[in-house]
Amino acid sequence: MKTYLNALGVVCALGQNKSSVAEALFAGERGGVRSTPGWMPARQVALAHAPHTLNALPAGTATWRDNRNNRLLLAAARDIEVDVRDAVSRFGASRIGVVIGSSTTGIEDATRAIAQRERDGEWPADYHYAHQELGAPAAVLADHFQLSGPAYGISTACTSSARAMLSARRLLRMGVCDAVICGGADTLCRLAIHGFHALEAVDSDTCRPFSRERGGINIGEAAALFLMTREPARVELAGGGASSDAWHLSSPDPQGHGALQAMERALASAGIAAHAIDYINLHGTATEHNDAMESIAVARLFGQVPCSSTKAITGHTLGAAGALEAAFCWLSLNDTAAARRLPPHVWDGLADAALPALRFTDASSRLPEGGRRYLMSNSFAFGGNNASLILADAA
């Protein structure tokens, strides 16, 4: 049974809607990644900011649900509002599901609340534990659209929203839902920034995926949402695969066995061979170990396929990364402005001779003309949690 990505809403460091995001993406703009004080004592780190001013949640929404993460989520939802309302009118509220991936939800609000309690001895009046609940984003969307189908969150670190898309696909295939809002949202928070810094994985400068000078990640924030149905649309979620190799709590299997397994399962799910893939959006975090294992796995399975990491222009958006980077594949398949553009690989051009050479895209790279095009998006997370998605032109 085929499933399609009928509509996309996206907000990230590249822009506030899919058209602005697409133009900045294909141009390789990195203006949203900037050195930012105030997040770590005595140090500035490069972070990728979504728009700072986000609309408050609609009137009538419980005040304890009003945090930056949910505001960012609803900003992305506005791009698919008409499509969701139409689906509700045709299928009914009980037949629409919501599956949202996130790794931190509103934990930044909780961090501020805990600091105030330590300082003043009492919680802020507007603090509620639900700010940080992992199921809160899905509940907010279900309430916003007045849906009564399945609504839940998935948190598998940096594969969260890719896993949410696989879960949404399963709900459709099982006949539980007729449409599912799926994707992810994560916002900047001190917990993640300090945690990655403790692992010596944060770059003070803009990150350089796969460079011999790479020095770690830039953390970013984003929300990306799809409306997925069984109704034919221009882009199909043609395949998906996941694995959990559990190599180490915070380091990937150095030979990329778990990554290979996820990619191979995605190919099998799509019913295609590796040579059919026209482009890969790499996980490409610019950390030493992730880039090494991913280059080994990709080179072994695909050889010289066009590929890029987009984290140099969006930051690593953690639980939102899987859906955000699938969105970039969706934008390539829907691109008409300059026909079939691919996201460029933005870096310093200093290849790491210790890694297998990959075929990185640039601003002139395009999808091939004619035939069906297949694009893969990789997400690899702590604990050896891996996911690969394959998007394609509708058959």
The model's pLDDT over 96-123, given as tens digits with 9 standing for 90+, comes to 999 999 999 988 988 888 999 999 999 9
Residue 266: band (very low, low, confident or very high) from pLDDT cuts 50, 70, 90: very high
Summarised one tens digit per residue, pLDDT across range 5-45 is 999 999 999 999 999 999 999 999 998 999 888 888 878 89
Rounded average pLDDT over 131-145: 92
Give the model confidence (pLDDT) of 340-378 as tens digits: 899 999 999 999 999 999 999 999 999 998 889 999 999
Please give the domain boundaries of the chain with CATH numbers for all domains.
4-393 (3.40.47.10)
Write the pLDDT tens digit of every residue in 149-192: 999 999 999 999 999 999 999 999 999 999 999 999 999 999 99
Phi-psi region of 271 (alpha: psi -120 to 50; beta: other; left: phi over 0): left
Rounded to whole angstroms, the Cα distance separating 388 from 256 reads 13
Catalytic residues: 158, 283, 316
Which has the minimum average pLDDT: 50-54, 163-167, 327-331, 344-348?
50-54
CA dihedral 74, 331, 308, 245 (to 10 degrees): 60
At 250, is the pLDDT very low, low, confident or very high (cuts 50, 70, 90)? low
pLDDT value at residue 132: 81
Alpha-carbon torsion, ordered 206, 390, 134, 112, to 10 deg: 10
Average pLDDT, the chain: 93
Per-residue pLDDT at 209: 97
> What does the pLDDT average to over 280-284?
97
Mean pLDDT along residues 224-238: 97
CA distance 63 to 3: 36
pLDDT higher than threshold 80 for residue 239: yes
Model confidence at 339: pLDDT above 80? no
Q: How confident is the model at residue 337 (pLDDT cuts 50, 70, 90)?
A: low
pLDDT at 338: 56
* pLDDT at residue 59 greater than cutoff 90: no
Pick the range with the lowest mean pLDDT from 81-95, 97-111, 126-140, 371-385.
Answer: 126-140
pLDDT band at 222 (very low <50, low <70, confident <90, very high): very high
Percent of the chain with pLDDT over 70: 98
More confident call, 260 vs 35: 260
